[in-house]
Amino acid sequence: MELLEERIKKDGVILGKDVLKVDSFINHQIDVPFLCELGKEFKRLFEKEGVTKILTIEASGIAVACIAAQYFGVPVLFAKKSKSNNIGNDLYSTQVASFTHGNVNNVVVSKKYLNENDRVLIIDDFLARGNALMGLIDLCDQAKAEVVGCGIVVEKAYQGGGEAVRKRCRVESLARIAHMDEKGIEFVH
Amino acid sequence: MELLEERIKKDGVILGKDVLKVDSFINHQIDVPFLCELGKEFKRLFEKEGVTKILTIEASGIAVACIAAQYFGVPVLFAKKSKSNNIGNDLYSTQVASFTHGNVNNVVVSKKYLNENDRVLIIDDFLARGNALMGLIDLCDQAKAEVVGCGIVVEKAYQGGGEAVRKRCRVESLARIAHMDEKGIEFVH
């Protein structure tokens, strides 16, 4: 998606070969009208899939998932990273290792909100090693829900996660990074 | 706001006198068209305030903040609950005790995205003891940003947080709970 690639080139900050900061417009400060354009593109890509629910994971996936959900007219469900004292015990649960935070989280959704009638579009801001997506797919498998695909804002295509997840379901990434370093960034086209 | 009070009576789940679960439509599964109605009401309440930025705290504040931001045409900034390895070191930081999770979090925003020219509307899903709001107000004070007010979805008016925060700034809560137990719920009007 050219609009996104141009914005990443303009406002993204590259640290070494692994970290792309997009915290001025996606995952700390959020440019909501810009996210609306991403949401419309996800709708265009998945409009024939009969999506009934958008699933994401807290925290930075929530913004893009909610904005996209407006175009699909379906609810969002966000997986929670720890069991708080008021989510209840009737949960699907999986383990997700976080590249960004360097830890492993227990990730849960309430059984009430995901079931065998759901056709789920998973949305997240980043795809690197694929741990978060595989965890969300596992939650859908436990619920016997159908995963129609994953919609990703930025995929670091050289980290292998996309390849692994594509063996399981359709993945559409709005920008796919082939290579980056402090000299610049190249996208897969 | 009658629409919200009716929805809470219909779909909220009361556990004892302290916990109101609204996880079927606000903070786990999210009814996005319903949040749009809340967002429009925040716009009506604060439209004369010249808001330049909406500030919230991860995770469950992000959805309502992003939806509301569409009506204000301003960016969202969400405070992060722990210092991840790619947010940078140039941060405003404060401590927030969580009623829901029973712990204390270091809460941060990047100095780049909050400054003395900002007129900030703080948005969150719940107001109980007021710890999160006081933390967000502290971050704005550090940045010398002006807090024009707080927009809250559900205030538990009997827990004292609203009283404390109103000494500092305007607070508009779309539903204010006077009392609740397993027999029912009463709102402040």
Q: Considering only residues B17 and A72, tell me which one the structure prediction assigns the higher pLDDT.
A: A72
DSSP A100-150: TTTEEEEEEEEGGG--TT-EEEEEEEEESSSHHHHHHHHHHHHTT-EEEEE
B101 contacts in chain A (CB < 8 Å): 82, 84-85
pLDDT one-digit tens code per residue, B32-76:
999 999 999 999 999 999 999 999 999 999 999 999 999 999 999
Q: Which residue has the higher pLDDT, B65 or B83?
A: B65
**Average pLDDT of span B134-152:** 98
Tens digit of each residue's pLDDT (9 = 90 or more) over A24-75: 999 999 999 999 999 999 999 999 999 999 999 999 999 999 999 999 999 9
Q: Looking at beta carbons, which residues of chain B come within 8 Å of A29?
A: 75-77, 110, 113
Of A21, A31, A85, the CB nearest to B100: A85
* Element at A51 (helix H, strand E): none
Kindly report the nearest CA distance between residue B33 and chain A, in angstroms: 7
Q: How confident is the model at residue A148 (pLDDT cuts 50, 70, 90)?
A: very high
Give yes or no for B145 touching A (CB within 8 A): no
Among A13, A29, A58, the residue to mutate for chain B (most B Cβ within 10 A): A29
Sequential DSSP letters for chain B? -HHHHHHHHHH-EEETTTEEE-TTTTSSEE-HHHHHHHHHHHHHHHGGG---EEEEETTTHHHHHHHHHHHHT--EEEEBSS--TTS-S-EEEEEEEETTTTEEEEEEEEGGG--TT-EEEEEEEEESSSHHHHHHHHHHHHTT-EEEEEEEEEEEGGGSHHHHHHTTS-EEEEEEEEEEETTEEEE--
pLDDT at A84 over 90: no
Is B102 touching A (CB cutoff 8 A)? yes
Distance from CA of B123 to the nearest CA of A (A): 14
**Residues of chain B with C-beta less than 8 angstroms from the C-beta of A113:** 23-24, 28-29
Label residue B53 exposed, middle or buried (CB < 10 Å: 0-12, 13-18, 19+).
Answer: buried
Compute the distance between CA of residue B103 and CA of residue B89 in angstroms, rounded to an integer.
23
Give the nearest chain B residue to A23 (CA atoms). B87
Distance from CA of B114 to the nearest CA of A (A): 9
What is the C-alpha separation between A156 and A177, in angstroms, rounded? 5
Q: Which of B41, B11, B3 is nearest to B27 (CA)?
A: B11
Q: Provide the pLDDT for residue B89.
A: 75
Model confidence band, residue B102 (pLDDT cutoffs 50, 70, 90): confident
| Confidence grade of residue B148 (pLDDT, cut at 50, 70, 90) | very high
Is A71 part of the contact surface with chain B (CB cutoff 8 Å)? no
Phi and psi of A143, rounded to 5°? Answer: -85, 0
Whether chain A has a CB inside 8 Å of the CB on B115: the answer is no
Task: Output the pLDDT for position A43.
Answer: 98
**Mutation choice for B interface testing from A14, A32, A54, A99 by most B CBs within 10 A:** A32
Q: Is B85 close to A102, i.e. CB distance below 8 A?
A: yes
B17 touches chain A (CB under 8 A): no
Tell me which of B4-8, B85-89, B135-139 is least confident.
B85-89
- Is B169 part of the contact surface with chain A (CB cutoff 8 Å)? no
